[in-house]
Every structure is written in C-alpha cells, then in structure tokens.
Structure 1
C-alpha cells in the first residue's frame, strides 16, 4: 500500500498535462500512486495519460464515459485510492521539486495528523512567481498538531483542496465527498477543517498554482452557473447542523459565506449583467436566514456592504460599486487615448477603412513576413480556389519579393493603400507567422495561424528559459497571438506545445500541414518534373542539405565542406543546398556548381518540389525533417554541435536518442554513412517509421481541404484522418523513373 495517492482530474489540459505529470513522476520520493481521471476530455489529454501509464506503473488512468465535473471526477479517483494519504493536484498545476519528501517528512514528524496543510505559489506566463499572500498563517508558532479551534484563522486561507494531505481513513470516517458544481471545494474544505482533531502545517511551497492567461478557470467565466455557490453553502451549513459538536463554527462560516458572495458580486467576469440583481437578492435571503445571534459586522467599507446585504439594498450597493467603476473608467480612458494615438500612427487611411464593413468574400494571405507565396497559406489558397471559386484571394507581398510571385496570383504590396484596405476589410486573414503589431483585429474577422513547422527547438513562452537565443518582447508576442481564431496543427505533439507556449483563446485544428498534401498526393510525373527543373539526370542521386539557423553564431559557419562531399561521393551524386551562400568564395565549389554537382536551391520558391526531387535529406535541427518524413525516404541528422545548440536554444526532445534515421556528429562520420549506404538500413527505416507515426500523424493528403471546409465553408466536423497504414505517399525518384526505363 503506497504512502500517497495523488488524484489528478483531467479535462482539456493537453498543453499543460505533461508538465503536471512530470512534476509528480520526477519527485525524489517514490512511494505513491497517481490516479489520473480523464473526465471525458475532448482533446488529446486521454491519449497523453495512456502514454505515460505505459511507461510508469505508478500511474492508474480512469476514463470516464461522460463529463461529470471536477468534484465528481475526484470522487471517482478516491474510490481507487489505496494510499495512507490522499492528495489532490489540478492537471494544469505542478508539484515543486522535493515536495513529496517534505510532506512525508512532516507527516512522520507530526505522527500522522488527519490533515496536513502546506503552501503554494502562483505562477504566471511571464515567469513571475508569487507566494500565497497568507503564507504567514502556516508559520510554526505553536503546537505541531492542533485542532482548528486553536488556529481558527486558517479559515482565511483560500478555499482549495490541493494544498492539503488528507489521511484516507479520516475521509472514510467523516464520509466526505465532493458535490457537483463550480464551488465544490467549499463544502470539502470547511467540512474537513472544522472536523479534524489533528491538523499540522508545513511552511513550504509544495504546489505551483498556474494562473492561466486565457481560459481554463471556470470561476472567471461569465455564467449563471455561479449561482451554484448558494447550493454549496447550503451543504456547508447542513453539515454543521448535522453535527451538534460543530455548532461553534456557524459564526466564522457565516462570515466566510458573506465574503464569498460579495466576491462573486464584485468580480466583473462572473455574473451576467441581467443576473446580478437576482444573485444579490438570493445572497441577502441567505444572510438573513443564517446570521448568528449576536453577530458583529466587520468595520469599514466591508461592514457597510454587509449592512446593505442584510437590508437587501441592491440599488444602494450598485451605486457604490458604480462610483468605483467610474474612477476606473477615467484611468482606462487615459490608456485608451494613448492607444488611439498609437493607432493613429498607422495612418488615417487605414483608420478610415476599419470603419467600413467587412468583406465576407475576401481572404488575405501572407507567408514568412510577406516574402512570397508559399508554405501552408499557399496550399490553403489553392484548395480554397478549388472548393470556393467565388472567394476573392489576395496575397500581401513586399515589393522586393514581387518577382517570386507565380503568375495569376493577385498581390497587394505591403504598405500600399490596397494592402491596408485588404487588412482592414478582409474577413479571412491567413498567415504562417504573425501579422505586424499595427494590425487591428476586427470583430468578425477570422485569423488563421498555420505555423510553418513542427517544433524541435523551443518556441513562444518556452524561449524565456533561453534568453541567449532571443530578445523577444513576450508580452507583445501574446498580444499578436490574441488575434488568432484558429491554430493549425500537424500532430498532437505540436498541439500540446502550441497551446502551452501561446496561451490564447483560439481553437486548435488538428488537420495536418496543408503544405504536405503534395508529398502524399504527388505522382511519378510530378517527381520527374521536380527533378528535371533542377537539372538532375536520371541516374543521379540527389541529397538535399538543409541546415538551420544558429542563434549563438553571429554569422553562418559551414559545418559541411561541399567540395570534399562531392569529391568523396563521386560524380553520380548531386548536393542540393538550401540555406546560406556558404560556398560562393571557393574556386572548387564554383567549379562544382558549374558542373551541376552542387546546386544552390536557397531561392527556390517551393521547398516541397525539392523534397520530391531528393533521394534523401541531410539536416540538423530544421523542421524540414518532419515534413520530409511524410515521403518515407531516408533522413540523416548531421548534428556536430548538438550539445551547444540544445543548451543555447533548448529542444523538446533529444534528437540523438529519437532521430528520424541515421545520425552523424562529424563530417567524416557523415560521409562514411553516405558512401557506405548505411544511412539507409533496416534499423534507420525502423527509426523513421516511429518518427513518422509520431510527427506525421494527420498528414494524409487532405489537410488543406480540412481547413477550407471547417473555416471557410463552416462545416462543423473535420474530415476523418486516413489510418496511418492505409496512406500512400509520392513515389521515390527511383520508382518515378521505372516507367521511363521500361519504355
């Protein structure tokens, strides 16, 4: 029987759940079981739990068949609990390092009390950590073990269950369970504290309480469900009435009830406007029904609110609150004037266009900071033309990249009047990066963020942990991300990361990457055409080399000598290089370029055509590996600086341990793999298969269609994904040449 049973209810937290689980499984104290209750979560949380459970026998996963809410999910977990003590942890929060050891040591030192109360700290998206404001209540100033009568001020701690360890036989003896509802912690917290005869304290932060920037907290949701608080306090007082020995707690609990009611009334993000008066009158009725004889109201403004509640003086209270709001509006007005001044810098023309109606039949596209027509936005554009030919489509492109735009594509030059008009009036805005800070998100506009790769390196807020890699203003970043309505994901791995590092109120569409559709659907003729456009002869083996950027290098330093590459691999091999012009000054490489042995494809507008043409990919940390894997062709990871790169930029997994194929850490090793053919073996194929199943999860050739049908055509459900083993992909160059050879 374990010492601890940790119960973790789970619902729509896939972006935070791995961090929560890791914080528990990484504890140095190991005598515990973790009971994770999947409360019919509609996202990938259930799959994440199952994956963790496969690797750690301490995890027990329960999958509920219907969503029952936080309290009843905890009840379900308690039915499975076997530990001496029960602990609760919300699935977007984390345990601090060494928390379970500290809790276990304190329980041992205090001879197993019925309840142990420990501390927590709030954590924020920007890295700020703020300890519980009433941490003073946990200081050791008195007996190690006591009842609440000795320290009644503990009732002033936040009414939460996850900052306490409860002895399981105490729970069974008292019959405590969680009721349904929004405020289910109140009956449990008050009931357990006033009943326990032996309480102990631990003056240590054991839980990090995540303050989610957007969504995730039902108490910050405007809804009539906040009327649930009346039922919960009815349960609190019913519990007291059923236990005569607890009658002394009516007064303190009455004060907690009134303070809680007033908090709900005064919080702007809870009650609908047309429900506030009704809530007040119900709160007033509870006040008068439960006020203890001889109750003394608190002093000051708080006491004045008690008086108005007792008298059911709704109008008087609202007038007082309105005065406070008026003062806030003055301050807000000043801020608004400053914001309007900033927007004025965008130009009077843009402002005038923002006042005109949206054009429901116009979609504006951009890719890579308006450098051309490419990537996921281009694939969506093409599919939109097929499925909704009446939709007008226009691309934002900088003037110095206009020559890269295919014929027939309508373009607006960035900065022109046409550009500002399109930004202001297009209903649909599609981009694989963010639009500029100056862009205003209008009501009714739909922003689609397609992204432009599966992340190996850290992204978004995770980059805060690696300051040497960026000078990004993260607050500005999130303001840009606030404009997103949809975030496109190619796999659940990306979904989890995007939702955590860009914590904004968008909907994730797990469609696959539209740009990869061609890698599934391309024909042998397409492969031959891609090779012919690059001047590749039929018998030539083409290796595509795509290195990525290093933040720690002031300029590009070649990790590969192309002249040596060409010399050792022979005349039947061509190196396609996409990246920096790192070989231009060498007479040897210039000669090799003239013979076609080295081809610079850095300016090629469609990387997908390069993928189709190449027999194999050589890359390092580029997201190209995830896309190229769709083709099921060999991939070589050439990572001579893995230790430095992973330390400076940070990565989400160890590429040396989980590569998509062969790995080389030196140029000699790389050339050995290529000359011997050991870059393509049964072992590398096995690695690639596992990699593809993980990262090409939704890439079945219909990603763009899914996006268009869901976003532009308004279809509610996404097209089903073709099972992985039933999918096809474009033929290899050798397979594409077979019909030609037979002829």
Structure 2
C-alpha cells in the first residue's frame, strides 16, 4: 500500500465532512484512511456516503498525540500523512506530494499550509483569486516565500540541513505553529527511529515530533502546489479549536515543558537547538512581557516569572542580545528583579503606544477614553445615538430620539454620532464624528446609548450606564452564532460579538419571530424585560395617518415625478463579495436600460443598496428614470415613496410589508445564497408574499401583471403580515421609551 492518511477526531462532525470530501476529490489509488475516534458509534452511520477505504479506530477520550500514535501503529502505507479532521486538502495536494516522493525518494515531502475560515464549499465558489489569497494567507506565509526564493536561487544546494530547518521550523513564527500537517513522511523513517507523538501533551504535541523528524533525515523536499487549508474556527465560544481552548495555567506549563523537551531531544543538533531557542526568545519579549505588565493574574509576576528566568539561562546569549530591550529585560528576569523588569517593560510599551498614536490618531482617543474620560462622572440625562457606524440620521434611534425630544422637552441632552458633521438635527442634538476625541469622551460619560449596530470593541460599559441595542432588521439570513460559517468578516467575529452583546441591557425585537431568533443568534439571555417585544420604532412612520401626504412631500424633495408609480430596488450585499476588512463590492444584476424601455412611461425606479456596499452605481443614460438614493438617510421614508418593492435577501421586505404594497423577489442566485453563503430562517418559496423571479425579463413581466400577482398572493400576504408586522402599530417608540428611559 502506498499511503496511510491518519485523522484524529472527537467532535464537530460538519468539519469532518469537508475533510473526508477533500480526500475523496484527490482521486487517489492504493491508500487507506485511519479515522481515530473517541467512540465508533459517534460516526459510523455518518461517513458511508464518502465511499472511502476508512478504518475506524476507537480511542476513548484521548489526546491528538495518542490518536495519531494509534493510527501509526496500524498504518500499512509506505508513506503516512497526518490530517486534522477540521482541515481539508485542495485538489491534487496528495497526488503532488506522492509524485514528488516517487521522483526524489525523499523521506519527507512538505506542502504549503494555508489558513482560512471558509468551509470547502464556500472556498470553491469564490472566483476572485485576490480575495482567496488574502483570506488564506497566515502569519508564516511571508517566511515561506523567502525559503521558496532561496530554493529557486539554489542557495540550499550545499546546505540541505539549513533548508529542512528553515522549511519546518523557521517559517513557523511560534512553537505552537511547528506542525506535522501537510508533510508526507516515509513510514520506515518513523519506525526505524522510534519516532512518536508525546501523548501527554494536549496543545504542543506536534513540535517534538517534527524535531525528531529533523534529527534523522536530510532528505526533505517542498511542493509549492500541494495545498492544505488549515481551518480557523469562527465560533470559539461553542466550537473552539484545540488552540482556542483556554487554560492559562496548563497551557503555560505545557509550553515550557514542550520547549524544554524539544531542547533535550535536539541537544546534539546545534542548529535545531538554536532555532527552538530563538522562538522562546521572541515569545519572551513579544508575549510574556506584556502579560507581566498587564495581566490581572499575579502568576505572571511570581511563579511564571521565576520559571522564565530559568528558561532564559538555557538560551544562547546572542539570541538575548538581538535588541537593547531584550538584552536589558532578559538580564533583569534572570536576576529575578521583577521591579526592574516591570520598569523596562513599561517604558518599552509606552514607546510602542507612542508610535501607534503617532501613526493613528484614534489610538490617542482610545488612550484618553481608558485613562482619563472614564474617571469623569456619568451625566445622568445625556443620551448618545448611533446608526450604521455614524453613516446616517435614521433607523430606530432616529425615531426614539424624536419621540423623546417631542414628549420630554428639556429633560434630556442628546449626542448624535454622524460622520457628516454638517448634518442639521431637529431638536438641537449635538453632532460628533465617530472615532474622534469627542466621541471617546461621550462614550465615557453618557448615561444612555441607543445604537442599531455593535458598539466599538474598545468600549467598556461603566456601572450605571444603560445600553439599548435596537438592531436593524428582522432576520431572513442566518446571523452571528446561527451561521455555520462567517465569510464576510474576520474569524474573530463571533468572539467579538459575544463580548459586545454582554453589554446590551435591552434589545428590541420587531415581532415574536425575531424575539426567538435573537435569543439564539446573539446568545442573548432574556432576563425579564430586557428583550423589548415592542416592534421597531423606525416603522412608526409607516402607520402615520398622514403618510400619503408625507410621501408626496418627500417625492418633491428628491425630485421624483408625482405622475408616475415608483419601484424600489433594494438588494442586499453578498458575503462572497467581501474583499477586505470593512470593504465590499457589488455588481448590479438588473438591466435598468431594458426596464426603462418597457416600463419607463408608467414607472420610475429608486435604487437603494446596502450600506456595506462601497461602489457607486453608474446610472449614465438613465436620467429621469433611475434615482440612486443609496445615500439617503432614512429608508423608511423611501418606503413611503414606493409603490412596489423589488428585493432579494434583504430584510427590507419585512418592514415594507407594513404598507401592504406589492413585492417581488429577484433571487437570481438563490441556490448559492441559501445553500452556500448564509442559509435562511424561513422558507422563501413557501412564505414570501410575492413571486421569486430570476431574470430581468421576469421582473418586467411581473410588474406588467401586478394586479394578477397581487390577487394570487393575497392570502399569503395576510399570513405574512400577521406574523411579522403584528406588533407595529405606530407606538413602538413610546413603548421603548416607557420601558428604558422612564424606568431608569
């Protein structure tokens, strides 16, 4: 047999599915998969569909190291390959490694390890190579590129030992990153030298194994095109990866033990020994020192400080002299002089902070917030409002603000966060720009906060402050902790969300459906009246008895002709059109020129894209027919102007339904959006109060026959309205204010 693939598994079955699917797609022959599981019953009925030569091995509760050893003991292949159950290999990875092994007869063949928080199916649907590259790079990528360049320049031809160390150790930025993953290893190398995993290690089982490999072979080669994707877990609260499991005491102790063990087994190999110590020296100044300064756990300044002093005595002196800071700090630590070490660390971190402040003025604002403004008294009648990160004066915060100002004159002072500071507010609110010094000040001293998105990560709610989260829509797409994958944010999204929602005192629900969903997707514990089942204040306007007159005045304001019906097209953004931190792109899929030709005599169209979408729409040649109101503050006012809504997966249709006006759903990528990107909370085909259409021709035809469509969907519309609009009667703002402000 040529190849044995060893996979340890103990939880998160949906990750394993991707792993096994990726093996199936390799088109291998003459191989086996050794799947080592806690209990065979957990998986035996769930893996048959992959039709792989799988041998199930029951380990009971065991470490990854023990499971890999059990797989090694039963492996029959000439080569072994370790694969974690939450990772997957890209097409041709294993074949490329095997081909190189056959050609070179090397004992170890390494591929490239990339990092992603995307599941396999999402990755495969992404067409933008730049996007893929950005999201798959990890911290070791640049180091590996240097090794590749040296290899191309034949620098390693006379230094095979340096090549293997650079490839397997130096390209890994920390000891925990030294990994046996994506290494094809000759089984005879392992057996003849009695190499195995240290089973008692929980976090650091890989590094000693790799050091042992390096000791016994110089026959290492590298295949650039053999790609393994290391999956990041985007839900460290409910589904943490091994590296995300927190146990500061056990982890630190094991780290030191693993480091010392690696030194011991490499004591006769100076080069390996040196680079293992180099990682510890970097750890000491980049991580450990910060813990000594900032951690609330005194162990970093007592027992761990003493432990580190002993470790440093075994490190080559030249590694401790890489910088003046490292030299002074290591000397103080080895002398067990904590006070001096703390002064050195404080001075160094102050310098780092000063550089950050110089490069980014917001760092100073955050510093003042933490160290000055939070010491000032809370102003008990001061309220801060923010919508969409300062993008607009709109949404539920606007209607809560106006209700308070009208009904409680003189009782409150108001601060509005608006990036356009020239915005003129009714009722005399103060405007501050987001992420400025004034913004930081008001975050510290306001009594109340009314936000429709999450607060800044660096904000910490003070005792006595009250945070009202209005959110900004009834959820159709799965949100936060209900999403299996987060493809349009950083892998820390769920961890960040979990911490931020802890500071919400109240959360508004627009309907009973949303109330239950919010408890799940936000992991929001509804204690008493903290979930406000009031309806959305932003929809109060849709029940105004004078809404028709208001709509006419709004049309005049934006230049929409009064003698034509208005179509509103409000598409959402797609997760796979995310291309960077906070950056998105969008391509209009509706043929507006065709619509103008066939509908322009009777209709005009308003375009309203999601606030995430940065690109400006090009409406050249469509003057008088198409109006881009994407930057118009208040979408509720746009609803009033509109006779028909075209949308897709945006939550706008839940609000628009309050008007009981026709809707159609332009879902040209329904299968992809539902099955790959996000998933839905409702069955769109069966519950939506209008037809699903897939082409511009169908959109036009539906609008031309709108009377028939309205009659066809009348009963479904009634059911939809009762389920999602039943709480909204024009008095939601009043109910929120009575609960939050009058109570407090």
Interval containing the TM-score (normalised by the shorter chain): 0.5 to 0.7
Q: Does 1:637 align with 2:628?
A: no
Counterpart of 1:671 in structure 2 is 701
Q: Does 1:431 align with 2:454?
A: no
Q: CA deviation at 1:160?
A: 1.9
Find the partner of 1:228 among 242, 251, 254. Answer: 254
Counterpart of 1:619 in structure 2 is 647
Counterpart of 1:244 in structure 2 is none
Q: Does 1:103 align with 2:97?
A: yes
Residues 328, 344 of structure 2: 8 Å contact kept: no
Corresponding residue pairs, total: 591
1:551-605, Cα deviation, whole Å (9 max, x unpaired): 668x9957645994997xxxxxx9997859x99997xx9xxxxxxxxxx999896
Q: Does 1:366 align with 2:360?
A: no
**Following the alignment from structure 2 to structure 1, what is the Cα–Cα distance between the partners of residues 278 and 438?**
56
Unaligned runs of 5+ residues in structure 2 are 116-132, 173-177, 293-297, 405-410, 515-532, 550-564, 573-584, 610-618
Q: Does 1:88 align with 2:83?
A: yes
SS in structure 1 opposite 2:287? Answer: coil
Residues 662, 710 of structure 2: 8 Å contact kept: yes
Residues 308, 314 of structure 1: 8 Å contact kept: no
C-alpha distance 662-544 of structure 1, shift in aligned 2 (>3 A): same
1:453-487, Cα deviation, whole Å (9 max, x unpaired): 69999xxxxxxxxxxxxxxxxxxxxxxxxxxxxx9
Counterpart of 1:264 in structure 2 is 283
1:503-524, Cα deviation, whole Å (9 max, x unpaired): 984427699995642777899x
Counterpart of 1:547 in structure 2 is 570
SS in structure 2 opposite 1:267? Answer: helix
**Following the alignment from structure 1 to structure 2, what is the Cα–Cα distance between the partners of residues 361 and 54?**
64
Residues 332, 340 of structure 2: 8 Å contact kept: no
Unaligned runs of 5+ residues in structure 1 are 41-48, 241-246, 385-390, 458-486, 537-541, 568-573, 590-599, 693-697, 714-743
C-alpha distance 6-701 of structure 1, shift in aligned 2 (>3 A): farther
Counterpart of 1:5 in structure 2 is 5
**Following the alignment from structure 1 to structure 2, what is the Cα–Cα distance between the partners of residues 666 and 118?**
46
**Following the alignment from structure 1 to structure 2, what is the Cα–Cα distance between the partners of residues 627 and 76?**
57
Residues 591, 696 of structure 2: 8 Å contact kept: no
Q: CA deviation at 1:68?
A: 7.6
**Following the alignment from structure 2 to structure 1, what is the Cα–Cα distance between the partners of residues 468 and 69?**
40
1:290-309, Cα deviation, whole Å (9 max, x unpaired): x8xxxx96757559999999
Q: CA deviation at 1:535?
A: 6.3
Find the partner of 2:222 among 202, 207, 210. Answer: 202
Residues 72, 180 of structure 1: 8 Å contact kept: no
SS in structure 1 opposite 2:701? Answer: helix
Residues 65, 197 of structure 2: 8 Å contact kept: no
SS in structure 2 opposite 1:201? Answer: strand
Q: CA deviation at 1:107?
A: 2.6
Q: CA deviation at 1:162?
A: 1.9
Residues 489, 509 of structure 1: 8 Å contact kept: no
**Following the alignment from structure 1 to structure 2, what is the Cα–Cα distance between the partners of residues 602 and 71?**
55
Residues 156, 163 of structure 2: 8 Å contact kept: no
Q: CA deviation at 1:106?
A: 1.4
Counterpart of 1:470 in structure 2 is none
**Following the alignment from structure 2 to structure 1, what is the Cα–Cα distance between the partners of residues 607 and 269?**
74
Instruction: Give the alignment of 1:42-81 within 5 angstroms.
Output: none
TM-score scaled by length of structure 2:
0.52
After TM superposition, the structure 1 stretch with the greater mean CA deviation from structure 2, 357-366 or 75-84, is: 75-84
C-alpha distance 182-324 of structure 1, shift in aligned 2 (>3 A): same
Counterpart of 2:692 in structure 1 is 662
SS in structure 1 opposite 2:142? Answer: strand
**Following the alignment from structure 1 to structure 2, what is the Cα–Cα distance between the partners of residues 552 and 147?**
50
RMSD: 7.8
Find the partner of 2:147 among 135, 138, 143. Answer: 135
Find the partner of 1:184 among 195, 205, 209. Answer: 205
Counterpart of 1:161 in structure 2 is 180
1:134-175, Cα deviation, whole Å (9 max, x unpaired): 72699497999x998997777754432224234568768755
C-alpha distance 435-633 of structure 1, shift in aligned 2 (>3 A): same
SS in structure 2 opposite 1:132? Answer: helix
Counterpart of 2:335 in structure 1 is 314
Instruction: Give the alignment of 1:243-322 within 5 angstroms.
Output: 249=268, 255=274, 258-269=277-288, 272-273=291-292, 274=298, 275=300, 278-279=303-304, 281-282=306-307, 301=320, 313-315=334-336
Q: CA deviation at 1:546?
A: 3.3
SS in structure 1 opposite 2:208? Answer: helix
TM-score scaled by length of structure 1:
0.52
Residues 203, 242 of structure 2: 8 Å contact kept: no
Instruction: Give the alignment of 1:140-151 within 5 angstroms.
Output: none
1:597-627, Cα deviation, whole Å (9 max, x unpaired): xxx999896749969x999953257453687
Q: CA deviation at 1:201?
A: 1.6
**Following the alignment from structure 1 to structure 2, what is the Cα–Cα distance between the partners of residues 492 and 340?**
35
